[in-house]
Structure 1
């Protein structure tokens, strides 16, 4: 019998908290059931298994990141918006080191809320690029560049892979500034040979 008051949303939110405490790689259904004070089979009333939990956790993380990026971008444009959104993304990863990796899953097409959250996050970056005059197919390249740079940096930082003797914040600041320079000087189709 499932615990009274327990539902899928509570299970997923508790999984997120547990992941932040123990690490995403150590998040198991058994550990979550123990945390919730229920028998493992009781969790199956709310999530169909480990993969279903991972998908729901990914949807939660994607929505949280999209919310933070949207809030950071509000009322800003250009380099100011770029900096604020990059900082918000990095700040989220630092505050939620266990759940952050869960967000790196392609939104499940069967979960409209997950798809919408992914679209909101990408939409923030498209809006920033529009402020630089980058649109259409070129904006897809810009979104990929932003994500590769910011997510790549944040993931490497979270893994402790920056061992060189230089302040990491300074490196992040330079990278974001370089993205701004790149977006301000974005080549037009005639310069790239694209049509």
Structure 2
């Protein structure tokens, strides 16, 4: 019988706290059970083992990331939206380093829940980039580029890779300005005749 008050949502939130505090490697069923004051077998009433928990964490992380990125772009468009979305992404990675790590999980074939959560973020970024004159393929390349920039920046920051005494917010702003200049060129190339 399941413990009263223990449900899937409670497990995911507790696992996210563990991930943020100690890293994803430390999120185990034993650690989660200890945090919740239950025995490990009790968790199987709510989740499909550690792989199931990690998938639930990835969905939760993507949903939370979408929420902060979406909120940041409300009422803004164009360059301002790209900057706001980028700041929100980096802020999420800073606040939730373990949960952020889960958002990188590629969905297994047929995992529609994880695909849908990732798809919402993709749709949001495509919407933000819609005013830059890119064709459909160009938009997808631009999404890959932005994701690479933001993930690289987040990872380097988390690993202590930015040791120089320079303001990281200035670096990020300049990097996003350069990215925007680049996608404007991509849009112009799409408009120019061969």
TM-score, normalisation: structure 2: 0.91
Residue 189 of structure 2: aligned partner? 188
Match of 2:46 in 1: 46
Identify the residue that residue 129 of structure 2 maps to in structure 1. 129
The answer to whether structure 1 residue 97 and structure 2 residue 102 are counterparts is no
SS in 2 for 1:98: helix
Cα distance in 1 for partners of 2:159, 2:107 equals: 24
Aligned to 1:56: 56
| Cα pair distance change 1:128/1:135, threshold 3 Å | farther
Name the residue aligned to 2:37: 37
Per-residue CA deviation, residues 112-164 of structure 1 (Å, 9 max, x unaligned), is 43222211111111112111121311111111011011111112111212223
Runs of 4+ in 1 over 6 A off after TM superposition: 190-193
TM-superposition CA deviations, 1:5-64 (whole Å, max 9, x none): 211111111100121122222111111000111101111111121111111100000111
Instruction: Tell whether the 8 Å contact from 2:19 to 2:27 is kept in structure 1 after alignment.
Output: yes
Quote how far apart the aligned CAs of 1:182 are.
1.3
Corresponding pairs, count: 193
Structure 1 gap ranges (5+): none
Higher mean C-alpha deviation, range 86-95 or range 71-80: 71-80
Q: What SS does structure 2 have at the residue aligned with 1:6? A: coil
The structural deviation recorded for 1:100 is: 1.1
Q: CA RMSD in A?
A: 1.9
Distance 1:192 1:157 in 2: 42
- Superposition deviation, residue 191 in structure 1: 6.2
Aligned to 1:9: 9
What are the ranges of 5 or more consecutive residues in structure 2 without an aligned counterpart? Answer: none
Question: Larger deviation: 77-86 or 148-157?
Answer: 148-157
1:30 and 1:40 in contact (8 A); partners too:
yes
Q: Kindly indicate whether the alpha-carbon contact (under 8 Å) linking 2:30 and 2:40 is maintained by their aligned counterparts in 1.
A: yes
Q: Is contact 1:107-1:115 (8 Å) kept?
A: yes
1:192 and 1:166 map into 2 onto residues whose CA distance is: 42
Q: Is the 8 A contact 2:135 2:190 kept in 1?
A: no
The SS at the match of 1:185 is helix
Cross-structure match for 1:154? 154
